[in-house]
Structure 1
Amino acid sequence: MPKTHRSGPGAGTVTAARAGDRRALDELLTQVLPLVYNIVGRALNGHADVDDVVQETLLRMVRGLPGLRDPAAFRSWLVAITIRQVRDRERLRAAAHGRNADLADAEALPDPGPDFAGLTILRLGLTEQRREVAAATRWLDQDDQQLLSLWWLEETGELDRAELAAALGLSDRHAAVRVQRMKKQMETSRVVVRALEATPRCEGLGETALAWDGVPSPLWRKRFARHVRGCEVCDGLDRGLLPMDRLLGGLPLLALPPTLDPARVIAAVTGRAPAPGDPGTSSSAHTGGPGRGHASHARRAGRGASRAGRVLPRSVLAGTAAAAVTVLALVAAHLTGGPSEPAARVTTPGRAVAAPASVSPAPSPDTSPSRSAKASASASPSATHKKPAATPTATRRAAAPVAPAVQGPRKGVGVWSFDGVNQALASSGAGWYYTWSTQHSGITTPAGADFVPMIWGSASVTDSALAQARANGPYLLGFNEPDMAAQSNMTVDQALALWPKLTATGKIVGSPAVAFGADRAGGWLDRFMTGAAAKGLRVDFITLHWYGGDFRTPQAVDQLTSYVKAVYARYHKPIWLTEYALIDFSNGTSFPSPSQQAAFVTASTKALDALPYLQRYAWFGLGADPSAPSSGLYTNGTTPTEAGTAFRAAR
């Protein structure tokens, strides 16, 4: 089936808006609003936060537009920002979950308006199998929801595969694999939808559903699918299912709800109302279709936040009822010159910046991966260095070592070779260090400090590497960012299959270090920990990575500690924070000023030392490029950066 033409602005409009043309900016916002709404709406399945995330995304777009070098890359850039905002929203919401139980419970209340699947069915008047596809989306987990939001638009012609892959930070090949996995889950969900809607319903399925609360979820999808596969009555429900590609091709974008009227969004994002006759001011610019809009300004969970230079007041909940109006007082005149505050953004944990090219050893099973001189927007910055990860509560064998209280200083650092590395390491005062490898060739361990080995990825699980791990102290760090294509790139099943070789070393072993979402139910780490517990595999402590894009010290420290607390609340295991710094990846790679980075070092080390379950932390990293901004501590063996001086002073 032919696909629709891609909507959105041309390069001329982008260029004019980037140059400060007010009318072009208004036109740009009007044209991209439906695309952003469809991505966010499907990724969040119509959650009440959709409107806020859409407006936050557009605000980020406006702030970053002057720095966009290639107008032809605008769509890919915007889609990547959109997915990043969805992920940040999920992580911040999860981190805030434990702060107020009553508000967190109220946040979980369903929106009385239709979810995005329901809106799709209602507004597009879908035929039966298209309706089943839309209904099946409710059964996906959060990661697949985000991927589906992009793939759906790819099938309708709004995105291409390169844009989809760029938004996920994956190669085209890896993105294709992810899409295929998601489509398999969708096919399973379509069969579950058919089984539950069958008349009469299978009695055995009805018995299985007795404990079901009626809310679609990945867990119940698996349970219902297991029944369908082994049931003679339900057998054959998958017959006649048309490929989703054929069903979705040619569908238009879902129309905007009244709450996202283009004129109002333009006013909110730019801080001014469009002039009469400007794009988005006429009723014709509004494409809202039938059906109710999202009640996005009610039922908030008290997640107050100061972001991007403005305050978003949230609703106040009382008991199980919620009533309030969210007021947006947004930053104005982003494109008219004058300094602006750095965008307040929490970067997805695990995004690390690449080290200077001069310090890049070639990757091998027994050495750390090479470091690139430039961080790629599509690859995890940590693609060039490797770090430890955290592990949930897995069942321990009787002979397993117990993770004792860590002796010596908590503070450590990630280290790679550079001129003067040994002097710098000794001067830094780090009580421990690691190299993303089982070896520290050419690096001398200072008196009173420890080297901690790491098994970086599947290729590092060799007899020689494991022997080196055994010879180096009591601890061992697990796989580095297995959830990232540019890192160790492992499935949960692959990691679980290799894990016994790590625990067989007899070391106290830290979990695989995921790039992000360590606190998220159903995330890579959560699935690994669940699998480890089921298989009786040992995980002694959790390893985390965190990078912050909010360069204001109090806010950054709060975001860091909230993430650590949320992870501990999920797994109740000792935690090692093996990579952290202030680096913003929202628009390329940017760093705070040296004084801001130093202030964060001082405040964060003090805050981390106050967390009793946080056993160790390591700054990223020891080496600093003397000719470019970085988060490094030393430019050579004797010259610390401002951050290096602060780190050395930390106890």
Structure 2
Amino acid sequence: MPNTPRSGPDTRTVTAARAGDRQALDRLVAECLPLVYNIVGRALSGHADVDDVVQETLMRTVRGLSALRDPAAFRSWLVAIAVRQVRNRQHDRAVALDRVAPLEAAEAIPDPALDFAGLTILQLGLTDQRREIAEATRWLDPADRELLSLWWLKETGELEQADLVAALGLSTGHTAVRVGRMKKQLEVSRLVVRALAADPRCQALDVTAAGWDAAPAPLWRKRFARHLRDCPRCAGLDRGLLPMERLLYGLPLLPVPPQFDPARILDAVTAGAAPDPSAPGGAHRAQQARRARRAGHGGPRAVSKPVLGSAAAALAAVAVLVGARLAPGLLDEPAATTALAASPAAPAPAPASPGTAGPSAAESAAPSVSPSPLPSPSGSPSAASPAGSASPGAGAAAPTGVAASGRKGVGVWSFNGVSQALAASGASWYYTWATQHPGITTPGSASFVPMIWGAASVTDTSLAQARAGGPYLLGFNEPDMAAQSNMTVDQALALWPRLMQAGQVLGSPAVAYGGDTPGGWLDRFMSGAAAKGYRVDFIALHWYGGDFRTPQAVSQLTSYLEAVHERYHKPIWLTEYALIDFSQGTRFPTPEQQAAFVTASTKALDALPWLQRYAWFGLGADPAKPSSGLFTDGTTPTAAGRAYQNAP
């Protein structure tokens, strides 16, 4: 086998850095980042704590460098520090979960975009058996993930056996036993992955999978393994399996996202900023903010971290196969979003705001987009502005004084000044009910999320555009509505594998109503997906309130979200919401009532740990008519728009 060069600093760099050479110290931290990032990310399975642990590891490494006696031992010493910090964080998390109520414990649900196995597959372009190994790592017990992170790097050539033994603090023999057990579980998981992906799949395996929620878990691995051991139909799945060591050797490290800034780590150390969890802006600031919200203190959400930034942005960025510039807590528009422009599909039209007349059916055959639960009679899409016609101010960051949140988003259609309004709204993400955003320039403070709107959108071109749009993908829009994507559950399930194959973090179809109803459209879809082993990473929902009294409306909204979460136990994205009464035509609250609801609802949503994102309907507003919109043009917010700008 070729001698694969290892990442990390050499002994000369370590020696110079230990002696106080600032340039050498800069180089040392920069060269350590990939190794530490890969160890921590895989050990914590991409949990949002990854950035904290990477930060703590590097700061402890820099502070302890002067005590390192042998520069040649630096690599093993660094790995041992990383493993110790991983163990500390796992212990702290376990203790915290023992002390909280079940609903509060839902904050432990990781953002699916942080899934390190998925990022490995996407970024390194893994196929076939290499992909199966990466997918199999999701099925391991938590206790094996730390060992996996080290063994994986050993097999790819980044660590030596001595590094692994030293990091674990075990004897050589004990280490070999633990590695052997972990590899056995991983081999079993490879067979489980292969069996679940088989087409056609074993019918007896489908019976075994009844009740499975499609999330990899050790308990279900054991159940599936028993089936594979006893089933003649599945007996040949291990044929042709190559040794894992052969498949992993020479694989590169996952690249470190550009948000990780080694210079800022050194600045924090040289300024004497100790990694004090109680210090403002410290590594645990986000965790403290969550605790404060649970206790009813209403503290503001931590939006950024002083050194490394948000793991949600850092890890999600790796899933994008084009370059991206990141801001803390969100994923910005990829620089090469137009990479497919050589053979583009016809631009998808953007929806018109409620109460704004759009083209007739003869003018546009594209599906209309309107808020649920009933379609707006004037919800036909308006013609999209040509790309490049964004208004002045496009691409600018949110103005000073506008609150920014990784959760806060907005539905967007084309209108005069749309790009400038988007930048001013404080939204950290947006979508257009389509796979692209013609005529809308993504500001530096936001990211675009594509959607596969309906059955007609499931094309190779649209899916390629969606893949270029970032790590997330929204599923079908209101399939339970005749005026929207209008799909049966069977139709949606038949097309769902195409969306899964896009390789993105995938949201469920967003039903107009009844997401919590047993036997409803979403319930039947989720049951069917689980039975077939299909992946649904988060639940997308719409909600519109006809009770314009703020306390009652907020209570109705949160009660609905809690009921859906309790039913499916998955993260939730609220992708459309506002106060609009559709019970008798279309009725809007007063501007003051809408603004009061914006303020109260965003605070309530911020307190739900499993609610990962929400999007107001929508950005544009007609100044001559009532609406729920936030901006009448690029610079003029409505009362609701001002409230949304100030929302956390």
TM-score, length-scaled by structure 1? 0.43
TM-score, length-scaled by structure 2? 0.44
